[in-house]
Amino acid sequence: MFWPSGAVLAQDGMITYAGDAADAPEPPGIETLDAGGGLIMPGLVNAHCHAPMVLFRGLADDLPLDQWWQGHMFPAEAKWVTEAMTEACARLAAAEMLLSGTTTVGDAYFCASGAARAFESVGMRAMVGQGLLDFPAPGVPDPAQGLAVCRDFVEAWQGAGPLITPAIFAHSPYTCSPRTLGDAAGLRDELGCLLHTHLAETAAEVATSAEEHGASPLAWLDGLGLLQRLDAAVHCVWLGPGEAELLAQREVAVVACPGSNSKLGSGWADIPALLAAGCSVGLGTDGPASNNNLDMFGEIGLAARLAKLKTGDPAALPAEQAVDLALTGSAAALGLTGKVGRLSPGFACDLIVLDLAAPRLTPLYDAPSHLTYAATGNEVMHTVVHGRILVRDRELLSIDLPEAMAQVRELAAQVRAG
């Protein structure tokens, strides 16, 4: 619902009132944030990111996924990724996201405790997944210890506070064996945490799976009894007939990353078909090394445009539905349904304020239309997470931004020098 003059009240990080300002109660002695005629809306939810990869932004662009990943990213990660690196780089990524209107992120990477500390220290809400592979990875030189590292991470961060939710990120069916995937699912069941994976991202992945397993990646996981134990599948660009319906039946959320997928030439997820099949669909930026930015407004607009291009129907994925993908759709993928993505009593007070006086947002006829086709993160004036003001008048309050940028520049100088 849209109120020409609205107000949101919160206590202990939770919304107690959202509605017309004329009807709002006036509790004494509270901190106030004047929206200044701006648009108050829920903070955006980035359901899939590799935040520490800001270090590698622009390092190897204009390449197919397999060349980009195997020839450049994995070697760079093996040499440079440490917990100190993930903490420093996730802090800069958090700054970028908070300034552009994202209040919650689903992050997945190696040395995940560093990223978790960064998000917690700056006050950003995050589901943080510890990466799992069948070969040596940063922080896990012996793949046999990968599951133990995941266990230690999840147990260390469970119950740590309202902002950080630990999870397991099994990289993909082509980098994790059936045993590894099964063990990850077992640990997910035991610890009550989420399990995410990349799935059906490229045509080559699907073709290789058909050659090696006689089935698509999704069908293969389902045949192993693992699909229904997966909480979210990221990408799902190359699905076969009936596979969207199977994802819906198995209650697996889908996270589409249109910016990254289109940049890598992988294609893009058929979001209208996924929604028609009954799938829960959220949006993510993917990592800043493959996107190359973390502005969720861009993902909303691109998702809507690509849906129209794919179907030939300009009414496909209308603006209001596209925006909701980055709110309740993404929240569902992160296990946060009923907690974030809405300005309503009982939800966390995660909100942003957009400057409606910005030239690109003038005049205003329809808010969802502006949010989808006109807005960028540059119009965000204020950002609040769990009732705490993190950005006021476009100034970060919880991060020393020059210092954060200097730390990453220093790391980048080492990467550049080899």
Cα(90)–Cα(164) distance, rounded to whole angstroms? 14
Write down the pTM of the prediction. Answer: 0.97
Evaluate the CA torsion angle 111, 114, 118, 121 in order and state its sign: positive
CATH value at residue 298:
3.20.20.140
Interatomic CA distance for residues 370 and 358, integer angstroms:
11
**CB-CB contact of 391 with 382 (8 Å):** yes
Smallest CA-to-CA distance from 105 within 274, 265, 295, 381 is with: 295
- 370 inside domain: no
Buried b (16+ CB within 10 A) or exposed e, 73-89: beebbeebbbbebbbbb
pLDDT of residue 5: 85
Determine the 3-state secondary structure of 16 from DSSP.
Answer: strand
Is 119 a domain residue? yes
Is the torsion defined by CA of 363, 365, 367, 373 positive or negative? negative
Q: Give the C-alpha distances (Å, rounded to integers) separating 253 from 176, 335, 415.
A: 20, 10, 36
Q: Per the structure, how many domains does the chain have?
A: 1
The boundaries of the domain holding residue 304 are 44-333
Q: Which residues of 32-49 are buried (b: 16+ CB within 10 A; e: fewer)?
A: eeebeebbbbbbbbbbbb
> What does DSSP say about strands 14-20 and 164-170: parallel, antiparallel, or unpaired?
unpaired
Asked, for residue 15, whether it belongs to a domain, the answer is no
Kindly state whether residue 245 falls inside one of the protein's structural domains.
yes
Digits of tens for pLDDT over the chain (418 positions)?
567 789 999 999 999 999 999 999 987 677 899 999 999 999 999 999 999 999 999 998 998 878 887 888 888 898 999 999 999 999 999 999 999 999 999 999 999 999 999 999 999 999 999 999 999 999 999 999 999 999 999 999 999 999 999 999 999 999 999 999 999 999 999 999 999 999 999 999 999 999 999 999 999 999 999 999 999 999 999 999 999 999 999 999 999 999 999 999 999 999 999 999 999 999 999 999 999 999 999 999 999 999 999 999 999 999 999 999 999 999 999 999 999 999 999 999 999 999 999 999 999 999 999 999 999 999 999 999 999 999 999 999 999 999 999 999 999 999 998 7
Strand partners, 49: 107
Task: Give me the pLDDT at residue 1, please.
Answer: 55
**268 contacts 288 by C-beta, under 8 angstroms:** no
Query: What letter would DSSP give residue 26?
Result: -
Tell me the DSSP string of 208-240: HHHHHHSS-HHHHHHHTT-GGG-SEEEE--S--
Query: Mind giving me the DSSP string for 61-75?
Result: -S--HHHHIIIIIHH
Task: Express as a percent the part of the chain with pLDDT over 90.
Answer: 91
Do residues 412 and 58 touch, judged by C-beta distance below 8 A? no
Q: Does any domain span residue 239? A: yes
**Which helix (H) or strand (E) is 249 found in, with range?**
helix 243-249
Q: How far apart are CA 399 and CA 390, in angstroms?
A: 9
**How many whole angstroms separate alpha carbon 271 and alpha carbon 256?**
8
Does residue 378 have a cis bond before it (omega within 30 degrees)? no
Residue 414 neighbours by CB under 8 Å, 6+ apart: 80
Q: State pLDDT tens for residues 103-158.
A: 999 999 999 999 999 999 999 999 999 999 999 999 999 999 999 999 999 999 99
Strands (DSSP E) along 87-211, which ranges? Answer: 102-109, 125-132, 164-170, 194-199
pLDDT, position 246:
98
Query: In the structure encoding, which two tokens stand for residue 250, read together?
Result: 């198995």
Distance CA 153, CA 148 (A): 9
SS3 content of the chain, % helix, strand, coil (to 5): 45, 20, 35
Residue 28 confidence (pLDDT): 67
Six-digit token string for 306: 């690509």
The pLDDT, as a whole number, for residue 26 is 81
Inside any domain, residue 10:
no
The answer to the question of residue 219 being in a domain is yes
Say if 9 falls within a structural domain: no
